[in-house]
Chain A
Amino acid sequence: MNKNRQREEQKNRFFQKDNTIAAKDRIVAWPRMGNIDLALVALVSSLGVKIVEPPPNTNEALEIGVKNSIEGICLPYKLNLANYIMALEKGANTLMMFQAPGSCRFGNYTKMAQKTLKKLGYKFDMVVFDMYQSKMKQTLQAFWHVTRCMNPYRYYKGFSMGFNKAFAIDTAERLLFYTRPRELNKGDAERCYKKWYKIIRETNSVLGCKRLKKQVIEDFKQIPIDKKKIVPKVYLLGEFFVLLDPYANKEIEKTLGDLGVEVERQIFFSDWLEHVLKPSFLYKKESHRERCVRFAEKYMKRAIGGETIETVGDTVFASKNGIDGVIHIMPFSCMPEIVSQNILSKVSREEDIPVMSLVFDEQTGKAGYQTRIEAFIDLVKRKKMKSKIKNENKKEEMLAKC
């Protein structure tokens, strides 16, 4: 216990919380990651603090990040750093970030970013909350430090709206993945998703947010789809950031959807949020991680940090649930995912499921991926056809016997 305290003290010494900025002068910013903004904007603005949103991730943003970070670090850090710099340029003075020590290099991001930004001459207060133990307490403490908001209703409003928005947008995304390959008029699903993205962003009441999810589902149901179409189903697995951020993964879901493939992603921001923030005794069903540990047992006996065990477990799960293929994506030089890449080749062989690994870094064009994805999808489709014919033959044989 003594050691724990020592470490805690050590950490506090490093992340000295800056109390000189008054709550009303604070302008908060955080790095981008997919649709995380929707929830966080709702939460922080309801606590009464000004917000600066960094511009969306683009090539220019990435260039800023690459210029200011070291050679060997992974893609998510470069994008995060670019977000920080752009937000600080726009006038932010408080940066928020969560971290999970002990997973991989991710635990070191804030420390490095802080140093780099100070070297560049920015003045700011970095608020970090650990996602390791007593997560809810840490989160609340961080928000209290930033906002000094005393009103419990505002916290309720913020968290409720944030959660509901996260659920709504993730539901919309799930439905988009389902509808896109099946839609009769090309572009319907995409349009519907964009419409709802805007509505979710603008909704500003607790009740309105609660209703969002249902409305999204109803609206997506009205898109005409071809229900009889045979659509191969592909799992998208891999590193958390690259999975969630459409810029980092070069919109791989859209590419796949346009090729007539249904994408399923096991990691969603809202699921993760629920899993991380909810106390464990409230969590009755088997969580995603537990399921992964169970399925990966044959290949891995211990969790080794990062999302390795999730990737391996989900691949085994996919093969047992009739999924046609797995696309495994990761940023270049990601340590945990290299381990999973090594393991996946055996899983693919033994569980008889096609797996393709795609590595993303800052220098890759979209065309190269397109070719590889198309080839992989051809393979998956052919495999599906073959198994279908086999099944039909079996059926006929059975019928003939009868």
Chain B
Amino acid sequence: MEDNSKIIGIPRAMSYYNNYPFYYGFFSSLGFKIILSDKTTTKLINEGSNYVVSDTCLPIKVFVGHIINLLNKRCDKIFIPSIQSTAYKVNNCTKIRGLPEIIRNVINQSFKMIEPTLDKTNNITFKDFCYDIASQLDIFDKEKIEAAIKEGWTIYNNFQKMTLVGVPFEEAVKSAIEGKILPKPIEIVRPLSVVIMAHGYNLFDERISMRLINKLEKMGVKAYTGLNVSRQDAINSIQELGEIQYWANELDLTGAAAYFMLNNKVDGIIALSAFGCGPDSLMVDEIQYHATEKNMPMINLTIDEHTGEAGFVTRVEAFVDMLIRRKRKIIQESNIKVLPSSKKEKVIVSEEVVKNLTFV
């Protein structure tokens, strides 16, 4: 029989998709065994929806579903952070700020909630956040906590190193936890590339995003995400567009989109947002404004718990078709001759053009 007091449950939702490597390092260094909830399924979403009012957005419903899942696994300590602000006056969405409050009031079972607060506007730093977790777990040994924070950062840094060179999220998390660093994966040249601006908890959740990245790759489109951009690059490119970072989790969206748009690395932007998401509605609009200015195609995909996969795929396909046609036209309009006008004429095609034309 395992000691139940040394087990902590982490829901596979929300900040899991940004900070899990840190949490893993931190908790396991403090001597805790981590139980993750199962991957999101339709049943899990439906269970979560039963507890909250219908206006609540999809990610919160999913989060509640994961908490129920953890409770069904007999987990009596659950980690629910309240991330209020990540820099001075850079606040998070109210629903994320109030996650512990929502869970406390909608779920009637008794369990211990580990609810630390991170609020840099009011001078509650990340270190305070970590000490807060430890004190709620009845650990007051300062050296132990410091070591745990260090361990957390080590794993997180490895994770970040991998994602920056383009290792997919799942693999990066898996090998970061095992303490390995994967080398840069071999890049398959794809004719098109897009950037997906979406929160990690929407994009990397296979049920919510309906494997959007895989689908795009099958269509011959390379998809960049917010994980492929470093924090500093993202902040700089937002400033370059003349905007201010207003939301705490904005870097995944505007930061990534702005970075790839300014560097001309992509052919289009795909925005994936949950229905009724407040911050997303503003951020998508912001990027839409700049994309129109820079003549960059953009599509906004809205998802909720009822989104049918067929309709979703059709829209993505149509967008990709449009991108192909657009790129072909650009190549035709430039002076490179692609097809010979008569049988006698020979066309010398440079390697670069061939690369671009593999799809035509």
Q: Are B53 and A335 in contact (CB under 8 A)?
A: no
Would you list 23 pairs from A and B whose C-beta atoms are within 8 A, ordered by A residue? Answer: A102-B91, A102-B121, A103-B91, A104-B94, A105-B278, A132-B89, A299-B105, A301-B100, A301-B115, A302-B101, A304-B98, A304-B101, A305-B94, A332-B55, A333-B278, A335-B95, A336-B94, A338-B57, A339-B95, A339-B98, A341-B53, A342-B56, A345-B53
Per-residue interface assignment for chain A, residues 293 to 304, with 1 indicating a CB less than 8 Å from any chain B CB and 0 otherwise: 000000111101
Sample of 15 more A-B contacts, CB < 8 Å, known A305-B91, A339-B98: A10-B244, A14-B243, A72-B281, A73-B285, A101-B91, A101-B246, A104-B278, A132-B89, A338-B53, A339-B95, A339-B101, A342-B102, A345-B105, A346-B106, A359-B55
CA distance A105 to B285 in the complex (A): 13
Is there contact, CB below 8 Å, between A333 and B55? yes
Stretch at the interface among B79-87, B134-142, B312-320, B352-360: B79-87
Knowing A102-B121, A333-B55, the reply to whether A301 touches B91 (Cβ < 8 A) is no
Q: Which residue of A lies closest to B51 (CB)?
A: A342
CA distance A357 to B93 in the complex (A): 21
Chain A residues within an 8 Å CB radius of B94: 104, 304-306, 308, 335-336, 339
Write the A60-71 contact mask toward B (1 if CB under 8 angstroms, else 0).
000000000011
A342 to B85, CA, bound (A): 22
Shortest Cβ distance from residue A338 to the other chain B in the assembled complex, whole angstroms: 5
Does residue A280 face the partner (Cβ distance < 8 Å to B)?
A: no
A7 CB-CB contact with B under 8 Å: yes
Q: Min CB distance, A186 to chain B, in Å?
A: 37
A81 → B minimal CB distance (Å): 13
Known: A336-B94, A338-B95. A3 touches B102 (CB 8 A): no
Chain B stretch 92-135: residues in CB contact (< 8 A) with chain A: 93-95, 97-98, 100-102, 104-106, 115, 117, 121
Which residues of A in the span 96-129 have a Cβ within 8 Å of any Cβ on B? 101-105, 107-108, 111-112, 115, 119
| Residues of chain A within 8 A of B88, CB atoms compared | 3-4, 7
B55, B88, B115, most chain A CB atoms within 10 A: B55
Q: Which residue of B104, B239, B278 is within 8 Å of A299 (Cβ)?
A: B104
Q: Which of B102, B242, B277 contacts A339 (CB 8 A)?
A: B102
Interface residues of B (CB under 8 A from A): 52-53, 55-57, 82, 84-85, 87-89, 91, 93-95, 97-98, 100-102, 104-106, 115, 117, 121, 239, 242-244, 246, 276-282, 284-285, 289
A1-35: CB near B (< 8 Å → 1, else 0) gives 00110010011001000000000000000000000
Q: Interface residue tally of chain A, by bracket?
A: 35 or more
**Quick check: B95 and A105 within 8 Å, CB to CB?**
no
Given A107-B246, A302-B101, residue A101 in contact with residue B89 (CB < 8 A): yes
Give complex CA distance A359, B281 in Å: 19
- Distance A342 CA – B61 CA, assembled complex (angstroms): 12
Tell me which residues across on chain B come within 8 A of A149, comparing CB atoms: none
Q: A112-B282, A336-B94, A338-B55 are in contact. Are A343 and B244 (CB under 8 A)?
A: no
**Which B residue's beta carbon lies closest to that of A105?**
B278
| A-B CB contacts (within 8 Å), total count | 117
Contact B242 A14 (CB under 8 A): yes
Contact B56 A338 (CB under 8 A): yes
Contact B280–A304 (Cβ < 8 Å): no
Cross-chain contact B239 with A10 (CB below 8 angstroms): yes
Report how far A74 CA is from B302 CA in the complex, Å: 17
How far does the Cβ of A58 sit from chain B's closest Cβ, in whole Å?
A: 25
Q: Which residues of A contact B82 (CB under 8 A)?
A: 302, 304
CA distance A332 to B53 in the complex (A): 13
- Which 4 A-B residue pairs are closest in the complex by CB-CB distance? A72-B281, A304-B98, A304-B97, A102-B91
Q: Which residues of A contact B276 (CB under 8 A)?
A: 72, 333
Q: Residue on A with the closest CB to B244?
A: A10
Task: Please measure, in the bound complex, the distance between the C-alpha atom of A71 and the C-alpha atom of B275, giving whole angstroms.
Answer: 11
Closest to A72 in B: B281
Q: A301-B101, A342-B56, A342-B106 are in contact. Are A70 and B115 (CB under 8 A)?
A: no
Task: Given A73-B281, A299-B101, A336-B94, decide whether A342 and B52 contact each other with a Cβ distance below 8 A.
Answer: yes
Provide the residues of chain B in CB contact with A302, threshold 8 Å: 82, 84, 97-98, 100-101, 117
Partner of A71, one of B87, B106, B281: B281
The one of B85, B89, B105 that contacts A346, using a Cβ cutoff of 8 Å: B105
Q: Which residue of A lies closest to B106 (CB)?
A: A342
B87 close to A3 (CB less than 8 A)? yes
Q: Which residue of A lies closest to B121 (CB)?
A: A102
A318 to chain B, nearest CB (A): 17
